[in-house]
Amino acid sequence: MTTLITLSDLTAAAARIAPVAVRTPLLPMDALSEQLGVEIWIKPEMLQRGGAFKFRGAYNFLAQLTPAERARGVIAPSSGNHAQAVALAARLFGCKAVVVMPTTVTSAKRGGAERLGARIELAGTTTQDRYERAEELVKAEGFTMVPPYDHAWIIAGQGTAGLEIVDDLADVGTVLVPVGGGGLSAGLSTAIKLRAPNAKVIGVEPANAPKLSQARAAGHPVRIPPASGLADGLLAVEVGGLTFAHHQAYVDDVVQVDDAALPRAMRMLLNRMKLVTEPSGAITLAALMEGIVAPSGRTVAVLSGGNIEWDGLVPLFSDDPT
């Protein structure tokens, strides 16, 4: 039987990361609240160190390694945000980091990992490609693998964002969270349900990569065909087995959002909140703006990251006169 993380795992992770992580605020989104007739709040994880929520899990993981494991160096397969998080955590612990990224990685995400001192390896375009290359390097060079999502330490670290939500909004009614491989959605849903059991947690994934929807329909993780799209951080071909067990226990529903909706949500965040969000990070807000999710009670949209730069923003908006 799969063992789920506990509230004590979450609070221990929160204490572990507290000296180094940013405690991101909840910000009221008045423009959308007025439109929908319910309080909408955002959790801006682009303000986290490394530009995304991933630093929470990466630091929690490295903090629990032995000195000998850290001395061998760490390696992380990643589409981008996990790579930067591991590179930053490794720098803080004074150990070497290698990150295995897709050949299609954005310049913002690759550049971020390089600036943090990581050695870059490129491998294919899928999660499996990156894992296989990382495993080769573990065998060849002795690195310690830092998985991007399917590990209890990673899940607990990401779940600290959920503890913060309930601390700031005890009567939260609905929480929307992006779904990639499932680490954030697993940890955050666990934290929400253990602290505010009446709240509803909704996972949001790209329409062209519905791995959690298909897993829930099948009752187990399902490998879907590789996809491309704007939400590059959410294009995992399969949710993890451990993350899926948490989803089954704590996620109430999962919905899909088309790529076309993402720039509209990014634009609203830039215009109204002065926040730069990557497409993956804006997907929860897009679900609200498009009417895909009807919020109930005080509602929080988790914005998972903002690792996009000017060169990535211009193509999204250059053809849109609004």
- Annotated catalytic sites, by residue? 54, 304
Residue 28 corresponds to which tokens in the numbers above?
Answer: 């009221």
Do residues 93 and 59 make contact, with C-beta atoms less than 8 angstroms apart? no
CA distance 51 to 101: 17
CA distance 75 to 81: 14
Residue 86 corresponds to which tokens in the numbers above?
Answer: 């591991």
The identity of residue 48, as a single letter, is Q
Among the listed residues 138, 216, 145, the one whose alpha carbon sits nearest the alpha carbon of residue 182: 216
Residue position matching structure tokens 């032995």: 66
Contacts of 253 (CB under 8 A, 6+ apart): 200, 202, 203
Distances (CA, A) of 309 to 18, 103, 306: 28, 18, 9
CA distance 110 to 317: 22
The identity of residue 241, as a single letter, is G
